[in-house]
Amino acid sequence: MRSPVWSNPDRLAIVDEEAPMEHTYIVKGMTCQHCASAVTEEISELSGVTAVDVDVASGRVVVTSDVPMDTIAVAAAVAEAGYELVQ
C-alpha cells in the first residue's frame, strides 16, 4: 500500500536513510539448491539483513540489508556455510 507523500514532508529524507541497500557478492563452490540454502541461511543471520537472493549458476549472491554490510562478516558467514566469497 502506498502512503501519501503529503502525509509526511520529511518522507523523502527518511526513505533515503532507511532505504534497503543491495550488496552483490560472488560465492565460489555452490552447485545446487542446497548450497544456496546453506549460504542464504548463514548470511540471513547477519544483523540488518532482510533478504538474500542466490543464483547458483553464476554464484551471485544479492544481499539486501537496512544497514551497511561488513564484507568480512559476509565472508565469514559464507565460509561457515562451506563456500568461499571471492568478490
Which residue, 42 or 65, is less far from Cu ion as judged by CB? 42
Residue from 16, 63, 23, 21 nearest 41 by CA: 63
Least distance (Å) between residue 77 CB and Cu ion: 17
Supply the minimum distance, in Å, between the C-beta of residue 85 and Cu ion.
16
Binding site for Cu ion (CB under 5 A): 31-32, 34-35
Strands ordered across the beta sheet of 21-28:
49-55, 60-65, 21-28, 84-85
Min dist. Cβ of residue 38 to Cu ion (A): 8
